[in-house]
Amino acid sequence: MKKARLFFQLVGVGIFTISLIIVSCTKEGPMGPAGADGTDGIDGEDGNSTCMACHNTTTKTNIEAQFSLSVHNAGLNAVDYAGGRASCAECHSHQGFVQFATTGDVVGNISNPTAWECATCHGLHETMGAGDYALRLKDPVNPIFDPSITMDLNGNSNLCANCHQSRRAEPALTNPGEDTFRITSTHWGPHHGAQANSVYGVGFAEIEGSVDYPEAGSSFHLKQASCTGCHMADFDNDRDEGGHTWNPSLVACNTCHEANEEDFNYGGVRSDIAAKLDVLRDELLRLGVLEWVEEDEAYEPVPGTYPTVQARAFFNWVGLSEDRSFGAHNPKYIRALLINTIEAVQAEPTPGV
C-alpha cells in the first residue's frame, strides 16, 4: 500500500513539473510600438435618406391627395362591371393587375375586386436608389393587337402602355384580303383608351391616301417627352394637374414648347383634329355604320356586315375619339389617319341611293 501511494505521489509531481514547463513556454513578450493609422474609408449614404424621400408622411399625404383627383381612382372605371372578369381584370382591378404583372396572366374571375391603389403599380424595390420607384412593369411592350411588334415608350412610361393600348387589331390585320367585315356588337372597336397606339404610331387602320404615315416611334412627343413627363410633371395645385392626378400639365406643355398657351391647343392642333373627327363621324352616320343611341347618350356602331374600308374607318374614329388627346399625343400620325380615312369614306356610296 505504501509503495502504491509513493507511486502516485511521484506521478503527481511529474505532471505538475510538465505543466510549469508548458506555461513557461507560452508567455508573450513585450508589446511592440503602435503602427501607423490606416486611411479613413468613404462615408456611405445614410440608409434612411433615400427611403424617406418618398416614404415620409408629407409626401405620402400629398400623393394620396393627388390620386384622389385622378380618374384612375374612380371605382366606376377601375372595378364596376369589369374588375372581376378575368378578361378585363388585368387592367380594371388591383388584384388583376398585380396578378398579370407577376405571372403574365389572370387565371380566373376575381370574386372581390378592389380599385387601384399605390401597390397596384408599385411593388418591391430593386436597387434602392433614388430613381427606383419599384414599378411592377417598365419594359417595352409587345401589344395585344400585334405581339410581333414592340412599343417602347421610354422607361417608366412603358407601365402605362400595358393597359392603354388597343385590345383588338384592326380589320385588315384580323381579316387580311377580305372585302367585307362583320361588326359583331355595339362594343366593337380597339377598346377604350388606346393612347399608347397614338403615342407610338401603330395599331390603327393605316388606310392609303394622300398623306404618308410617319415611321412608328418617331413622334416628337415620344422623342422629346413621355407619358410621365407630360402627365406626371410637378403637381400644379391651382389647376389640379400633374403628379399622381395624371392630368396633363399645361406648365409642362408651355415649358417644352416655349409657349404661353391657356389650354393645350398649341398650334391649333386640337381644334383641327376635333373638326376632322366630326367630319369622319358624320360620314359614318351617312353610311349607316354609326348611330346615336339616346338611351346610352353615345354614338355606337350598328352591328352588321360592311365593306372592310368602312369598318376600318369606324375603328379609327372610335379609337382616336377615345384617345381623348385630339391629336396632342402624336399630331402627324393622327392627322394622317384622319385625312386618309375621310378621303376613303367620302368615296363610298350612300346605302340605298
For the chain, the domains span 65-136, 139-232+267-353
Record the cell numbers describing residue 93, joined without a space.
382591378
- The Cα–Cα gap between 86 and 294 comes to 30
Q: How far is CA 246 from the centre of its chain?
A: 12
- Give the number of C-alpha atoms closer than 13 A to the C-alpha of residue 32, restricted to the C-beta side: 2
Mean pLDDT of 4-15: 49
> Lowest mean pLDDT: which of 42-56, 308-322, 336-350?
42-56
Q: What is the residue-averaged pLDDT of the chain?
A: 89
Mean pLDDT of 44-68: 84
pLDDT in tens, 136-181: 999 999 999 999 999 999 989 999 999 999 999 999 999 999 999 9
- Which element (helix H / strand E) includes 299? strand 298-301
pLDDT at 135 over 90: yes
pLDDT at 95 over 50: yes
pLDDT at 220 over 70: yes
Mean pLDDT of 53-73: 91
Predicted confidence band of residue 14 (pLDDT cuts 50, 70, 90): low
- The Cα–Cα gap between 68 and 87 comes to 26
- CA distances to 17, 28, 93, 123, 133 from 137, rounded to whole Å, are 77, 64, 16, 9, 11
Amino acid 9: pLDDT:
53
Amino acid 210: pLDDT:
98
Mean pLDDT of 215-240: 91
- The Cα–Cα gap between 307 and 264 comes to 36
Check residue 128 and give left, alpha or beta (phi > 0: left; psi -120 to 50: alpha).
left
Q: Which residues does 128 contact at the CB level (< 8 Å), separation at least 6?
A: 50, 51
Mean pLDDT of 287-307: 97
The residue length of the chain stands at 353
Amino acid 39: pLDDT:
82
Predicted confidence band of residue 42 (pLDDT cuts 50, 70, 90): confident
Amino acid 275: pLDDT:
98
pLDDT at 12 over 80: no
Amino acid 7: pLDDT:
46
Amino acid 129: pLDDT:
80
Amino acid 31: pLDDT:
78
Amino acid 217: pLDDT:
93
pTM: 0.85
Amino acid 350: pLDDT:
97
Question: SS3 for 77?
Answer: helix
Amino acid 6: pLDDT:
47
Burial of 333 (0-12, 13-18, 19+ CB in 10 A): buried
Amino acid 44: pLDDT:
64
